[in-house]
Amino acid sequence: MPQSEEQVCQAVLSFVTEGAYPEEKVVAAEFPTTALARELELIARATEQVENEISSLSRESVFDADDWIDQAKQLHADIERSRVTAREIVAQHEHTKPLQAKVEDASAKVGLIETEIAFNQAVADTLEGMQRLCQQIEAGRAALGNGQITVAIEQLESTESDLQNGSSFANTNVMDILSVEVARLRQEVVEALRSRWDDLLKIDRQKGEFRVCKDEGTDSLKNTIASLSRVGILESANAKLQKDLLSAVIDPVLLPGTDQLGRGVIVADSGIRIEPKPSKASVSETVNRITKVLDYLQQSLPSSVSAAFPNSFIPTVASKIIATWLSSAIPTDLDGLGAFEETLDHVLQFTRTIESWGWSGQEELVSWVNQAPRLWLTRRRVDSLDSVRKVIAASQGTTKPVERIEKEQVSQADGALLENAPTDDWDAGWDDDKEEATADKPAAPLPEEEEEDVSAWGLDEDEEEIPEETKPEALAEAEDDDGDDAWGWGEEDEDAQKSPSEPSQPKPAAAPPKSANGGRTVPSSSPREVTLKEVYIVTDIPDSIINVIRQQIVDSKNISQPVHSHSRVTSSGAGLLALPTLILAMFKATSSSFYSLKLASGQMYLYNDSLYLAEQVRQLIKEHDLSRLNSDVDALEKFGKLAYSKEMQTQSTIVTDLLDGAQGFGQCSEQPFRTECENAVSATVDRIRDVYKEWHPILSRSALLQSVGSLLSTVINKIIIDVEDLGDISEDQSQELVSLCNQVSQLQDLFVVESNDNSEAAPVTAVYVPHWLRFQYLINILESSLADIKFLWLEGELRLEFSVEEVVDLIEALFAESDYRRRAIAEIRRAL
């Protein structure tokens, strides 16, 4: 341990003054050169002290000077020796530094040699471990080459264990190389085991064969399974075996049951073989074939293999049986119920056989059998809806005339009118009560923007006391319901608002008989029964749909007969009565696109077909007491009327757009506006005639007249509004307006009907065109003098069609300001 300079100096001083030998650690300590001055100072101080002591002693005692001098000389000599000794110590210390460096160098060399020896030993140990592992890997490969798979597995496990515990070369490239080699050895072992597995359980997909080899010895199936388990691939091998069995054996047997074709199975001790050609087979025969296959597998395969079948193999087989055979075996008619019951019994027997082997996985088959009533009803529902789709898709658009006959209670006056009318105009007098309610009242002013008349669309027939011209909103209400009507949604709320006896055909209002002076008489209140007939055209679709509906109703009754009492699906017989509702909903959902794309004026055909189909369903309701279908019939009628309303709205939009070309008839007497007005009116008239020709072979005569009458009513209403909006009408304008209106009036030849008494045919335009008389009076006003207009108001029936303000506005527009005009207007106002 290093000593301080003070301690070293004191030790030297003690040696010089007292002769005390220093301690070993002091002697071994290095004497620093910086301590020489201090040491000399201490020695000088000690010398001085000694001299003082000597002087003091010499004064106190008598001593021999020579002795004192000798001692002084001796002391001086000792001091000099001490100085020399100190110098020698310092010199020796200087000589120890190279020796110390040599010692340190030698010690470093010794440590390096020891490290190299340890490294060499570690390298040797590592190389020995690598050599041992490589020898084990090569031994495993050699054993594998000799067919000793068990030995190879043992070598593999030993090598993997040593490699895992070989910490001497962990995290080195050597470890990666050895790991790759061990992985290769494992892959070789796995491939050898799979090859042996395939040799023992041979599957030939091309020939449809499966065979289990029962060799004994080291290559036996039992030893192979044990080896597969040790390597950890038994589960994957089982999964591959099951997959191969499904594709090579099960799938060919369960060939999709189209035309009842399947492949036979030959099961023997040597294995399973699938017949190459398909043959006719029933569901029971197919299930028996699957039973034979499973029985062979249960007997031939070890339990360690077959124990995995209930997990996935048996459920997969059950699902395939249901999908390929059982689902298609559900009959769609009652004649097949007997065979279907036998099939269900056979399936249950199949599940019991599987259960007797101690397997599971057949629960899906048991559940399928238990759900047979629901599945049968579902199959009937799908088949019936598909039948509707096929009927509509296969329709060629062939048509036929049908006649509808109804009996109505009408007044005697209306009956007289009906006797003089054509026999097919049976609905011309259905709305007489509406006319009677308004016969003695002046007509209400036409709204500024009156919408088209919709009384012909059958949407307002339950409002008996409201004039038709006051209900233009019926169409809008019908359009709002169109989105949900296809499937009959929301009909429950509307049924409460509809009259149960609402007719399904459009009915124009008949004009009440007139008296000799032109006034309307009150018809007799004594009603009588009149038979009403009409003929209209329908396609072949409704009859096909009604046949599908009738089949469900008939089967629902027949399935409750004793002959079907043993059937499991008997309980679902009542459910068949719910299918007509779905069939009608399917018709409504799919028919619109077909009629629009395949038939000209398809919406009118859809209207006729819907009402005809509703009538046929109503007859079924009476025959079989099915009041539950009443709401469906109402919804179907409404669906047909909505189709009618769509077509009417389309045509109404077209004629309105054409008439808009007249631009409100302003300056209609001046070019080029005159030509535009003439072209617009001419195009509108031609369009109505084209629509008449297009609908003539489809609709009944009364429905045709009323539909065209509604379009014509739209046109004349717009003309009336446009003319009334003209603030000033010159004489030339008046003449041009009369000419244009007369061109529109020529459309009355579309409404000519022949009488039964061979009298001259007369137009019934006023019956089918609301405001027709109002339009004719407008023409009279435009071409009449002021005196004539005043006469029409005071003596005629002008007041029944126009209000006083309307007449006054027209007079002010037609005639210049004068006393005569003022007096005429005053007389007209006083006549109210």
User: Which sequence spans correspond to the domains of the chain?
Assistant: 205-370, 654-830
Structure confidence at residue 431 (pLDDT): 36
Structure confidence at residue 379 (pLDDT): 92
User: How far is residue 818's CA from residue 415's CA, in Å, rounded to a whole number?
Assistant: 51
Instruction: State CA 354 to chain mean position distance.
Output: 39
Closest CA to 397 of 164, 598, 207, 211: 598
Q: How many CB atoms lie within 10 A of CB 744?
A: 20
Q: H or E element: which one contains 266?
A: strand 265-268
pTM of the full structure? 0.65
Q: What is the DSSP string of 215-259?
A: --STTSHHHHHHHHHHHT-HHHHHHHHHHHHIIIIIHHHT---GG
User: How far is residue 481's CA from residue 638's CA, in Å, rounded to a whole number?
Assistant: 10
Question: Residues with Cβ < 8 Å from 12, sequence gap 6 or more?
Answer: 22, 31, 39, 82, 85, 86
Q: What is the dihedral of CA 509, 515, 520, 522, to 10 degrees?
A: -90
Question: Residues with Cβ < 8 Å from 487, sequence gap 6 or more?
Answer: 585, 588, 589
Q: How many CB atoms lie within 10 A of CB 520?
A: 17
Structure confidence at residue 468 (pLDDT): 35
Packing angle of the helix pair 772-783, 786-794 (nearest 10 deg): 150
| DSSP, res 771 | T
Structure confidence at residue 258 (pLDDT): 57
- Percent helix, percent strand, percent coil in the chain, to nearest 5: 70, 5, 25
Long-range Cβ pairs for the range 13-18 (8 Å, 24+): 13/39, 13/42, 13/43, 13/46, 15/82, 16/43, 16/46, 16/78, 16/79, 16/82, 17/46, 17/50
pLDDT digits (tens, 9 = 90+) for 332-372: 888 888 889 999 999 999 999 999 998 988 899 999 999 99
What is the SS3 assignment for 307? coil
User: How far is residue 193's CA from residue 229's CA, in Å, rounded to a whole number?
Assistant: 11
Which architecture, in CATH terms, is 654-830?
Orthogonal Bundle (1.10)
What Å distances lie between residue 409 and 427, 431, 529, 649, CA to CA?
12, 12, 5, 32
- With a cut of 70, which residues of the chain have pLDDT below it? 1-3, 24, 58-65, 125, 128-130, 166-172, 215-219, 256-260, 406-528, 754-760, 832
E strand intervals along 462-520: none
User: How far is residue 571's CA from residue 557's CA, in Å, rounded to a whole number?
Assistant: 12
User: How far is residue 242's CA from residue 256's CA, in Å, rounded to a whole number?
Assistant: 20
Whether the Cβ atoms of residue 378 and residue 475 lie closer than 8 Å to each other: no
